[in-house]
Structure 1
Amino acid sequence: MLDEPRSGRLAAWGNALLAGLVSPDDAAHRISGSDASHRVVDLPERSAPPGAAPDATPVGLTLAIGRLRTLGATGLCVALPVAGHPLGLSGPPDFNARALEAGEAVIVVGVGIGLVPEVHRAGPAAAGGDAAISAEDAHTEVVWRCRPVREAPPADVPSLGEAERELAEALRDATETLSRLNVAGSGPATAAALDAYRARAERGREVLAPGYPPRAVRVFELAQRVGALVDIAYGPEHGGAVSASEIAARAQALRPVERTARRARVAAYNAYVEQRLRQG
């Protein structure tokens, strides 16, 4: 959970581009991150007759977002579903299943379209070659596939206020859980890992994107911190659990904390659209 999901980058910087707060090139660069390329397929045509097949020609991010704008897009929201928790989804079942398989999706508000990423890795490192080969020799290509979505309230997305309150409790619970389960990372190792995460975050990205309310940024940062604690607790290099029963106990104790962090991240990403709705 230490890294931003691709759907989060697309929604945050896509919203900034829709609002005219960043240039198309800057938005595309921020969304792509370290990936070699991002393309969008199956975009509907504005002038296409009802029932016409979508355009299967892959297009770049800026062209795709521009076309979505002409179709009536007012914002982009995030879904981060896992089995048993369709967080941010509203249907139909086919789209929900695709989003669940990917673990993420973007909902285009005002258009009834959702985008699910298909990630393709190529190169020696991706093919399971020599572990000594630099990761730079491999590259990742992402295809965002458009599918119809239901215009309805998304599942289980809290308000920013609710998310902030829940996160404060989750952070306390996570710290107590790490200590109770005798996880080595609950001490200096956790602090070191969190410091490394914050340093990487400051070097590599801006939190969310221009146009987001300060409270969303605060909630997002806290959600990342809670998520970092969960990741560290699951990591064998930091944990003290040695038996299957102890590992299962740790997972059961941390599952609600991880769920809270995911809900808060979605609330933060979606705060831009919520803010625009309140402003009318």
Structure 2
Amino acid sequence: MHVEPRSGLLVAWGNALLAGRVPPDDAVSEIVGADEPHRVTGVPGESIPVGLSLALGRLRALGVTGLRLALPVAGDPLALPGPPTFNDLALVAGEAVITVGAPGTAYGLVPAVTTHGPAGDATVRVAWTMTEVVDRPAPGPFLAEAERELAEAMRDAIDDLTRLDVAGSGPGAQRALAGLYRKDSDTRVAPGHPGRAGRVLDQARRIHAVLTVATGEDGAAVSAAEISARLSALAPLERACRRAMVAAYSAALEPDRA
């Protein structure tokens, strides 16, 4: 998963645009960042790929009032709405955007990211595929409960992280572990998001950095069995981390809960 999933940026800044809190050019600039201009295929009424600004404007005209993030993995789809063809695309990408709005305006967007050019001078292209999805209410997670789950999972995982000797994998792992205890926030949230969303995102990213070390080839484990043990021990924390990111990026849709 990208440190800041592109679907998360689309959700956060797309919601700010749909709510009238930022102009289209500003929202698109925040979503695209250093990427090449994003293109969207499957926008209703369009036979060719279009830019993000047109795609978001078309969604608003169709009655879409908000966007929600999905960060699914195999065995934990995190309430992907269906149909199976869309769910499969989202699972391969590890992320997706689900629209919220009037009946009959249920769409899903999935990004395909490709890198072109030599190292150090590469460009990133993002092509979004938009399709109709099953229209069903999103069950959450909501920010307050996701933050609580993340804190509980972190406490439960401390012993596992120590027992599995994550820090033994080197200075990078030690820095990642030390980052868990930082209290400052360097996340800029989109207009309409509560301050808590930034703090939750910061903590989720720091935990994700530790999980990347603990479950990857850079971890101290040297055998497949040891890596499998880490994956099993840290699975609840990984899920809580994803749920926290989903809730934080989508927090503008639940201001009464944040």
One of 135, 141, 147 as aligned partner of 2:120: 135
One of 56, 74, 80 as aligned partner of 1:65: 56
For 2:135, the aligned partner's letter is E
* Alpha-carbon distance, 1:196 to partner: 7.9
When Rg is computed on C-alpha atoms for both structures, the one with the higher figure is 1
Give a deviation string over 1:66-109, Cα, whole Å, max 9, x none.
Answer: 11111111011111111111114111222111111211111111
Match of 1:43 in 2: 43
For 1:142, the aligned partner's letter is V
Answer yes or no: is 1:167 the counterpart of 2:155. no
Give unmatched runs, 5+ long, in structure 2. none
SS class of match (1:82):
coil
CA contact (8 A) 1:75 1:108 kept: yes
Match of 2:227 in 1: 247
One of 93, 96, 106 as aligned partner of 1:105: 96
One of 183, 186, 190 as aligned partner of 1:209: 190
* Alpha-carbon distance, 1:209 to partner: 1.0
Write the distance in 1 (CA, Å) between the matches of 2:111 and 2:16. Answer: 20
Give unmatched runs, 5+ long, in structure 1. 46-54, 126-133
Normalising by structure 2, we get a TM-score of 0.87
Write the distance in 2 (CA, Å) between the matches of 1:3 and 1:173. Answer: 23
Give a deviation string over 1:176-196, Cα, whole Å, max 9, x none.
Answer: 211111222599654523678
Write the distance in 2 (CA, Å) between the matches of 1:171 and 1:207. Answer: 24
> Where does 1:108-123 land on structure 2 (aligned, <5 Å)?
108-110=99-101, 111-123=105-117
Match of 1:51 in 2: none
Assess, with a 3 A threshold, how the Cα gap between structure 1 residues 267 and 256 changes in structure 2: closer, same or farther: same
One of 27, 35, 47 as aligned partner of 1:56: 47
Match of 2:242 in 1: 262
Give a deviation string over 1:152-204, Cα, whole Å, max 9, x none.
Answer: 1336x322222111111122233221111122259965452367898xx94xx
Match of 1:91 in 2: 82
Write the distance in 2 (CA, Å) between the matches of 1:258 and 1:220. Answer: 14
Assess, with a 3 A threshold, how the Cα gap between structure 1 residues 120 and 225 changes in structure 2: closer, same or farther: closer
Deviates more, 1:242-251 or 1:186-195: 186-195
CA contact (8 A) 2:116 2:124 kept: yes
CA contact (8 A) 1:167 1:226 kept: no
Write the distance in 2 (CA, Å) between the matches of 1:176 and 1:188. Answer: 20
* Alpha-carbon distance, 1:39 to partner: 0.9
One of 159, 166, 186 as aligned partner of 1:176: 159
SS class of match (1:10):
helix
Write the distance in 2 (CA, Å) between the matches of 1:195 and 1:71. Answer: 47
Assess, with a 3 A threshold, how the Cα gap between structure 1 residues 38 and 147 changes in structure 2: closer, same or farther: same
Match of 1:234 in 2: 215
Write the distance in 1 (CA, Å) between the matches of 2:26 and 2:178. Answer: 28
One of 148, 153, 169 as aligned partner of 2:132: 148
CA contact (8 A) 2:176 2:206 kept: no
**What is the alpha-carbon root mean square deviation over aligned residues?**
2.5
Write the distance in 2 (CA, Å) between the matches of 1:185 and 1:63. Answer: 50
SS class of match (1:25):
helix
Normalising by structure 1, we get a TM-score of 0.81
Write the distance in 2 (CA, Å) between the matches of 1:14 and 1:151. Answer: 19
SS class of match (2:255):
helix
Write the distance in 2 (CA, Å) between the matches of 1:122 and 1:74. Answer: 35
Assess, with a 3 A threshold, how the Cα gap between structure 1 residues 195 and 71 changes in structure 2: closer, same or farther: farther
